[in-house]
Amino acid sequence: MSADLELSALLDDVVRSVDEDIAADPGCPDLAAVIARAHELDPQRVPAEAVHEVAQWAPVVSIQQGHRRRRTRDDVELLAARFVAARSATEGGPALELTDEARMALREHRWPGNVRELRNVIQRAISLAHGSRILEADLALHDQGDLMAVEELLTLPYREAHSQLDRYYLRRVMAETRGNITHAAERLGTSRRSLRERLKKLGLVPQDLGPTPKLEARMAELRRRLAPDLPWIRG
């Protein structure tokens, strides 16, 4: 091998190792930690709106100041309770509380976005809630990675149905390869670049790829019904 090719192969290994790290990265962490850090650097230059938000998130931000970067389920519950309390206090109505089912749903839900997303869900739930209790239904959480029922899928135009199935299928492969795009691409017989582009197009991000048991069951049903006609879901 010529020296140039050898060097190029070594650099390819660097690119591969970076790709793997990026594929394993769970994505954008909460902005609150960034704001808190900026505030430490120069409090005068951080917008007041940002400072207000950090103050609201203070207990969680202080935990995230270390190297821990993902929210735990306890954090989600704690934050949700704070948002509910803050909203109840500002609106002056009856004190609201989350039911056990609602709290459980919040804990179980995957939160690909930042804290803002959780707050939006809570605000919407408060406006939907009747009485003093926020029910699971008020949260209107739905698993965006869910696969629709087979009959419903069959009513869609081919391209849309394909995307739905593709989304589910790739989520599953990515979950099984622990978000490693290189391994997933090898398994699918495609290039990393194509797979990455497809994942991007489908709006799939590494932290949002795990199928639930319910989805597994639906996929099994779908396989039984459609596998002979859909080559892309053959193992």
Binding site for other proteins (CB under 8 A): 1, 3, 6-7, 10-11, 13-18, 21-22, 25, 27-29, 31, 33-35, 37-38, 40-42, 45-50, 53, 67, 69, 114, 116
Q: How far, rounded to the nearest angstrom, does the alpha carbon of residue 11 sit from its chain's CA centroid?
A: 32
Instruction: Please report how close the Cβ of residue 114 comes to other proteins at its closest, in angstroms.
Output: 7
Instruction: Please report how close the Cβ of residue 226 comes to other proteins at its closest, in angstroms.
Output: 34
Instruction: Please report how close the Cβ of residue 158 comes to other proteins at its closest, in angstroms.
Output: 30
46 or 63: whose CB is closer to other proteins? 46
Whether the CA torsion 102, 174, 196, 181 is positive or negative: it is positive
CA dist 165 and 214 (Å) reads 15
- Half-sphere exposure of residue 9: CA atoms within 13 angstroms, side-chain side: 6
43 or 231: whose CB is closer to other proteins? 43
8 or 132: whose CB is closer to other proteins? 8
Question: Could you count the other beta carbons within 10 Å of the beta carbon of residue 189?
Answer: 6
Give Rg (Cα) of the chain: 22
Instruction: Please report how close the Cβ of residue 16 comes to other proteins at its closest, in angstroms.
Output: 6
Instruction: Please report how close the Cβ of residue 12 comes to other proteins at its closest, in angstroms.
Output: 9
Instruction: Please report how close the Cβ of residue 121 comes to other proteins at its closest, in angstroms.
Output: 16
49 or 229: whose CB is closer to other proteins? 49
CA dist 131 and 152 (Å) reads 35
38 or 126: whose CB is closer to other proteins? 38
Q: Sort residue 131 into left (φ over 0), alpha (ψ -120 to 50) or beta.
A: left
Single out the residue of 151, 149, 153, 152 nearest to residue 215, CA to CA.
149
112 or 211: whose CB is closer to other proteins? 112
Token digits of residue 173: 């492969």
